Amino acid sequence: MREIISKAESIIVQIATPYATGTGFYLKPFDLIITNEHVVRGNKNVVIAGRLFEKQMTSVKYLDIKYDLAFLKPPLGHRMISYDCGDISKIDEGDKVIAVGHPFDLKFSATQGIISNLDHKEDDISYIQHDAALNPGNSGGPLINMEGQIIGINTFIVQNGDSIGFALPIDILLNCIQDFNHGKGQNGVRCPSCQRISFENNGNLSKYCTHCGAGITMIAQIDDYEPYGVCYTVEEMIGNLGYNVALTRKGPNNWSLKKGSAMINLSYYEKSGLLIGDVYLCALPESNIGELYYYLLKENYKLQGISLSVRNNDIILSLLIHDQYINNNTLMMLFKNLLKSADYYDNVLVNEFGAKWKSVE
């Protein structure tokens, strides 16, 4: 099982948009990244990251509301490997399966379960029902059998109680890929009315299905994301600091930035009006923790606007500001102070107290 999971990790793709995060996986024979439609909905470009390539933007190639499928263009120069697809006719109820996922800023997860139903009907589509634990971040990840073959794509959009997962069978996915390939590389969208695919025809776009005339939005017609309010101010600051703003987005009102050895997470909570910036400085040392705690408490007595804390095994420097006080100048000043303080404290904690550097992916 360990070998299966290790191999699967090399094809897993983390996906983020301004609206959602999820998982995808690479199918080498078709040179496509596969995920759920609801993960990338409302976007023609998304952020992807993986173990074998750098975080970057890529384009959406195919959208399919009926089967909750989306295909993405793979990154250039990647080293993702080939992974076998299973034969659905050889799968039985009671077989063991593994559900794999890796949403942004969360650990790679692999959960084992048992197939309980091979023909769970939902909107006239047959799903594989299993009890491998899923969460929303696992959406779009593969379901794998014990022979190390992909037999389905997990979806969180079908829910029916606790500890029950659902996956679209691999044969339906392969049929959809075959349909998409009729477009010879052109972007395509499955019509929700007639269920046939309309292709963009070398830039000649229509607002109507080319088969039945029903209203349809092609991928190129999707509007670019435009932040507003506090999110606009935050992204303006991120851009002014020299970052590619789109690459820092990781879901609704969340951003992630690298600064040297530190990872900075920014989160805006509209209900409370709070903007929180967390810098993960380093990991706790194996000894002399009492002395380190005393130092953190003593420093917090001096600090203004920022604070040091411990979460699990991580030492974190945090900024908290209410949105009524947020403007361009104030936010930039506070954030620069956060970064400057982080650069100071991580060195002190490592060099004087034996804390451990954190790896920044």
In this predicted model, what pLDDT tens digit does every residue of 186-225 receive, in sequence order? 999 999 999 999 999 866 688 899 899 999 999 999 999 9
Residue 258 in domain? yes
Binned at pLDDT 50, 70 and 90, residue 135 comes out as confident
**How crowded is the C-beta side of 75, counted as CA atoms within 13 Å?**
23
How many domains does the chain fold into? 3
Q: What confidence tens digit (pLDDT) does each residue in 44-65 have? A: 999 999 999 989 999 999 999 9
The pLDDT assigned to 163 comes to: 66
Q: Can you give the pTM of this predicted structure?
A: 0.90
The answer to whether residues 160 and 15 belong to one domain is: yes
The pLDDT assigned to 260 comes to: 74
The answer to whether residues 133 and 67 belong to one domain is: yes
Domain residue limits at 109: 2-172
- Whether the CB-CB separation of 181 and 173 falls below 8 Å is answered with no
Residue % of the chain over a pLDDT of 70? 96
Alpha-carbon distance 324 to 140, whole Å?
38
- Whether the CB-CB separation of 85 and 150 falls below 8 Å is answered with yes
Q: What confidence tens digit (pLDDT) does each residue in 142-158 have? A: 999 999 999 999 987 66
* Positive/negative CA dihedral, 81, 46, 266, 141: negative
Single-letter amino acid code for the residue at 287: S
Place of tokens 């080939």: 82
The pLDDT assigned to 286 comes to: 87
How would you classify residue 68: left for phi > 0, otherwise alpha for psi between -120 and 50, otherwise beta?
Answer: left
The answer to whether residues 9 and 154 belong to one domain is: yes
Alpha-carbon distance 316 to 309, whole Å?
5
Residue 177 in domain? no
The answer to whether residues 217 and 267 belong to one domain is: no
Binned at pLDDT 50, 70 and 90, residue 160 comes out as low
Q: What confidence tens digit (pLDDT) does each residue in 275-299 have? A: 999 999 999 998 889 999 999 999 9
Which residues are CB-neighbours of 319 under 8 A, at least 6 positions away? 275, 276, 277, 305, 306, 334, 335, 338
